[in-house]
Amino acid sequence: MIKDILHVVLIFVVPYLIIRFKEFKLTKLFGTIGMAYFFGLVVAGLIFLINEIGGNFHLSTDIGEIGSYAAIAIGIPLLLFGANLKEAKKLSGPVLKSFLALIVSVLLVTTVTFLVFGRHLVDGDALSAAAIGLYTGGTPNLNAITNIFGLEAEVIALANLSDIIIGALFYVFLLLAAKPIIDKILPFQKQNTYLKEESDMKNTEDFNFKDFKTSRRLFRTFLVAFGMTAISAGVGILVWVLLGAEQGRMLDFLVPLMLIGVTVFGIIGSFNKKIRETKGTNILGHYLILVFSFALASSVDFSRLIGSNFGEMIILYGVITVGSFLVHVVFARILKIDSDCMIVTSTAGIYGPAFVPAITKQIKNDNLTVPGLICGSIGYAIGTFLGLGLGLLFALGM
């Protein structure tokens, strides 16, 4: 009983501390989600070592599983509420073409990689589908897709760990070496503006936790997200009942339909001005994604990782990351997209909006910060559906 209480406390406290000290150097490199997985795996690793030396210490998998499902289901709409997808119409033609080229690049490279390599891996179809969501949107899309396909906690954790390793290495390349190289390949003139008209898009992931304040409006918006989760879960249970209510299979219907439902509801909610402009939804949503990440990672059974295909996952995600970027460069050359625009839209898709400001600062082109944030928001909204759609084709033996 005491260990379960301690586990619950850690699940909610560790994510708070990560956000509270998000300026920590390692957190800046690996991201807050990466740190949540890291600390979760540390907890799981310590438990494994205790049991290896003769102890008998186990955490309740139900706590980690239920906590992670609830957190990500409520967190997704809260994150999407601030997407402000209406701003997409303000993007200039070159930005839209470049981001579309990135999406096509990810789809093409992932499909080829799956057919050549991924199809031979255990859960290769779902992992490839998750890569599409990840590299057109972000980590929340990966986690949504892997849960929709019903992957084990250990597999989801390793998929995230693979992305963290590959992502950190490639991000260093983007910061230090990408611009001088791509400038030579895409010698096209930079634009004075990449927007058709002025945008009021804000970086919802650039927040100071000290400024976070609760309010009635935030509480009501949270209840809206909770209601969306409850309705979506209810649809999943209803489908399970209509299909015979087979014992032990409720989660097979509840989880996928719940996560698809909250994504759709979150996008719809983002078009409501009152919901979209509620202060604090981004921090609360981000916190819940960290709760999901830590809860999932801390529940990993290290003994089940022996003989896992972790190395193959790193290869899979490494090839897709680098391959998508290279194909995007080719498309940008054909479409005559300038190097700055190409680099920023690649960053928006492969990493998400959180990493855009650092890149625009590094390449000294602040004109692309807002367009990059808009592209990243679009990716969050569509990434899950792109990955799910192609993942179903992969599963059918494409």
Q: Considering Cα of 377, then 229, then 134, then 115, what sign does the dihedral take?
A: negative
Q: How far apart are CA 280 and CA 216, in angstroms?
A: 11
User: Can you give the pLDDT at residue 221?
Assistant: 96
Q: Rounded mean pLDDT of 205-224?
A: 82
For residue 203, the model assigns a pLDDT of 67
Instruction: Report which residue type is found at 377.
Output: S
pLDDT of residue 295 exceeding 70 = yes
pLDDT at residue 307, as a whole number: 66
pLDDT at 216 over 80: yes
Using DSSP's 3-state secondary structure scheme, residue 167 falls into: helix
Pull the structure tokens for residue 340: 């700055």
- Is the predicted pLDDT of residue 29 greater than 80, yes or no? no
Tabulate helix, strand, coil % of the chain (nearest 5): 80, 0, 20
Environment class of residue 237 by beta-carbon count within 10 Å: exposed (0-12), middle (13-18) or buried (19+)? Answer: middle
The predicted structure's pLDDT at residue 376: 93
In this prediction, what percent of the chain has a pLDDT beyond 90? 60
For residue 91, the model assigns a pLDDT of 94
Interval 324-335 mean pLDDT: 98
Q: Kindly report the pTM of this predicted structure.
A: 0.89
Is a pLDDT exceeding 70 seen at residue 339?
yes
Q: What is the pLDDT of residue 109?
A: 98
List, in order, residues 6 or more apart from 319 with CB less than 8 Å away. 109, 113, 117
The string of DSSP letters for 83-152 reads --GGGGGGB-HHHHHHHHHHHHHHHHHHHHHHHHTGGGSTTHHHHHHHHHHHHHT-HHHHHHHHHHTT--
More confident call, 150 vs 207: 150
- Which positions ≥6 away from 112 have C-beta within 8 Å? 323
What are the backbone dihedrals phi and psi of residue 12, each rounded to the nearest 5 degrees, phi first?
-95, -25
Comparing 355 with 26, which gets the higher pLDDT? Answer: 355
Question: What's the CA gap between 215 and 220, in Å, rounded?
Answer: 9
Mean pLDDT of the chain: 90
Higher local confidence (pLDDT), 363 or 23: 363
The model's pLDDT over 154-211, given as tens digits with 9 standing for 90+, comes to 899 899 989 988 998 999 899 999 999 999 999 999 988 899 888 877 766 666 666 6
Which tokens is 85 given? 């997808």
The reported pLDDT for the residue numbered 249 is 84
Burial category of 245 from C-beta neighbours within 10 Å (exposed 0-12, middle 13-18, buried 19 and up) = exposed
pLDDT digits (tens, 9 = 90+) for 97-116: 999 999 999 999 999 999 99
The pLDDT of residue 199 = 81
Spatial separation of the C-alpha atoms in residues 174 and 168, rounded to whole Å: 10
